[in-house]
Amino acid sequence: MPTISMFYGILIKMFFDDHAPPHFHAEYGEYELVITINPIKIIQGDAPKRVKSMVLEWTALHQEE
């Protein structure tokens, strides 16, 4: 799965021809989140609160891309 962004040890990965709904994966160490793009929502996984907050903020900033 291609990495499209990296920040503070968080890897954002996305397949562009993946199944619906449009989503991406965020990995931080042993943690993984699956986040839908519209609406922005964590649909799977868990991570520390700080990581979830940063990933959701990143998503909002890049949602239109």
CB atoms within 10 A of CB 26: 25
Asked if 12 contacts 4 with a C-beta cutoff of 8 angstroms, the reply is: yes
Domain range for 29 is 3-62
Q: Is the pLDDT of residue 6 over 90?
A: yes
Overall number of domains in the chain: 1
Render pLDDT for 11-53 as a digit per residue (tens, 0 to 9). 999 988 777 788 999 999 999 999 999 999 999 999 999 999 9
Which helix H or strand E contains 31, and what residues bound it?
strand 31-36
pTM for the full model?
0.88
Q: What is the Rg, in whole angstroms, of the alpha carbon atoms belonging to the chain?
A: 11
